[in-house]
Chains A and B, each alone.
Chain A
Amino acid sequence: MLKTIIRKEVLETIFSYRFPLFAVICLLLIPLGMSVNQASYAKRVRDYSEQVRLANEAASAIKIQDVMAGTVAIKGFRPPAPLSVFTQGFESTLPRYYEFTQDGFKPGESASDDESILSVQGKVDFVFLVQMVISLIALLFASDMVSGEKESGTLRLMLANRLPRDTILAGKIGGGYLALWVPFLLAFLMGAVVLMLAAFPLFGGDMSTRVLIIFLGTSLFVLTYFTIGIAVSTSAAKSRTSLVAILIIWAAFQLIIPKLGDMVARLVYPVRTETEVSLQKSLLVRSIDMDQAKELGRQWDLIFGSMSQEARDKQDKQDSPENKKWGPIRDDIQLRARERKAQQLSAIDETYLQEKRRQLNLAVNLSLVSPSAAFARFIADVCGTGELERAKYIEAVRSHQKALDNELFSKVKRTLMIHEGGHMSLGFSAMPVDASKLPKFSITPASMAETFKANVRSLLSLLFWLIAPFAFAYAKFSKYDVR
């Protein structure tokens, strides 16, 4: 019996005027979107390779004098995410590179160099199509599956037979969804063929697993929307009422809730700008450097007395008792200053991160009320263009800065002193540096386990929206007034 209903639903959907429209949208837009994004990805890969080559050349030519002069700025580039062909996510807004100096790191320009009108209107990628177009079509297809049959009287004819209502509901969901899923599957396969023809590394590393997860995740997402549509249809007596209701639900899930979540989070937990924090850090560094310089000057003056600059320079090079005393004191002052700086900078960073995390958490939690937001977050992370990638990127930047501090910037010690009377002196001590052995910037990609762990809330939201509408539809349809 279930098979009969599934077959009927499939045929009814295929024969409807909406089906060819849906099939054309899928078969045209999905492969086209993948093709356009693949071309964009290939271009970014070429740019990336060239820029990394140039940056490596520049890094290997670094001399200790450059470090002493404070002119060294090493660039670390982020490789383009291959799966950005499915969703752009943060791909075009993340900095293409970070610049590492002895004063810390700062972001370069973002990856977006696209001057097409899509820069303003939003990129048409696979996830965008699924979120905005296919979800709406799934809702539209499902919206009159129950209420429409009630209006046409066929539901009464069906229920006049020895047919359990749950079988009808299961058949409607199964058949209706199958009719949507097959064109989607074909479009996805066509997209995959387009990518393979363009020499896209579809089977490299864990790429094929990720692509499979994208496909399965998207299939479940479409099923979620289809079931929501059925649930709405079982709650309405007329298909027109269903239609209005699903349009409101769609707008709420796609547009209102995700944006509202972000807006509410910004209002509840306002966060300072990067510039404000950066300024605070600069002031702190300057203040600690000044304190250090004053302390060094005071200690120098105590040890060496009021020598002339020339005499001081000579003294500095001699193995005198004063010098033996001066060395540990200087190192101790510099160490304490370094520790204080690190501690206080880290406290500023941590406070800022906490503020951001609190705001982000609230925004994410609110937005996850929408299955669409949950889906977009999960797929973006699977594709390496989401929040997880952003976190991994900044983690890699911090770690690279530390490595460069150890391997390069700490090889030069600048000793600025402010003596009594206010006059200043600057001394350098440098150790040899092998620029060819400097660490290379790299980002450890998030594993699938990390991706799933980071997306537990998104997956729970999707699961809820898959089960709840089905349970709701089941409860409603078991008592649905077919008259």
Chain B
Amino acid sequence: MAKQQPILKADDLSKRYEDGVLAVDHLNLNIYPGEVYCLLGANGAGKTTTINLFLNFIPPTTGTCYVNGIDVTKDPLEAKKYVSFVSENVMLYGNFTARQNLDFFAKLGGKTSLTKNDYYQVMRRVSLQEKAFEQRVKNFSKGMRQKLGISIAVIKDAPGILLDEPTSGLDPKAAEEFLEILAELKKEGKAILMSTHDIFRAKEIGDRVGIMKEGRLVMERTREELQYEDLVKIYIDYMKSEPLTMA
């Protein structure tokens, strides 16, 4: 099978902040349609910075981020057409109902002619309880808000999805449901980049898993490779060691 074009691509990407901290150091990454890439690493390893660079929230110091082949610094608005984003803490608009939140973000994502039923279908798909559809989001649990967050990504129907620690703080059931949704999106051909601390779920869902340390991608393993290796041990070893060259 001919290799497809990556939806999300980081090419020699570096980011050094004004205070001198090198958050991302010469990162190269390609995420293809139907692939889930899990980025592991301690706090401050550069995972969120990588996602921020893909969203053009911050400019890179060197290198380039591409979304669907579009350089995000050159044409950020066009690039954002092809990517959805779910953050760690999906707060949304507390005084709006779930449907109103979904309606607002769907319109921002370019979906202007959706009906109430379309919204309900998407919320059902992410397993949000039916009674919550017309409830104000301020009373939602974190799990419910994460589900609504992913429904925003689903409704946009972009080929690339960026998830910034989406399962952090979720109870096991909610986290499991979340992974089921990701698996479905993967089946649909979405290219997913997920930053996470959750080694077990990374191994479960990830087609590839990378470990970042001090801005560098210090290890990358495929799902197949991880069948024969202990990801927890690898992760702890890398966290303890000095940054090394790519393994």
Contact = CB atoms under 8 A, between A and B. Distances in A.
A160 interface: yes
A161 B105 contact: yes
B interface, size bucket? 20 to 34
Interface stretch (A99-107, A149-157, A256-264, A420-428): A149-157
B93 to A, nearest CB: 6
A158 B108 contact: yes
A152 B149 CA distance: 13
Interface string B103-114: 011011110000
Contacts of B105: 157-158, 161
A162 B105 CA distance: 11
B67 to A, nearest CB: 11
A481 to B, nearest CB: 8
A12 B95 contact: yes
A interface, size bucket? 20 to 34
A276 B214 CA distance: 79
The winner among A1, A153, A164 for most chain B CB atoms within 10 A is A153
A12 B93 contact: yes
B108 A483 contact: no
The winner among A1, A157, A481 for most chain B CB atoms within 10 A is A157
A165 B81 CA distance: 15
Contact of A160 (B48, B55, B100, B110): B55
A159 B95 contact: no
B219 to A, nearest CB: 26
Interface in B49-78: 52, 55, 57-58, 77-78
A198 B63 CA distance: 73
A4 B96 contact: no
A424 B92 CA distance: 97
A154 B91 contact: yes
Nearest to B76: A162
A16 interface: yes
B135 interface: no
Interface string B150-162: 0010001000001
Interface in B27-67: 48, 52, 55, 57-58
A335 interface: no
Contact of A162 (B77, B92, B93, B94): B77
A163 interface: yes
Interface of A: 1, 4, 8, 11-12, 15-16, 152-154, 156-164, 481-483
11 contacts: A8-B93, A11-B100, A152-B94, A156-B57, A158-B108, A160-B55, A162-B109, A163-B77, A481-B57, A481-B58, A483-B48
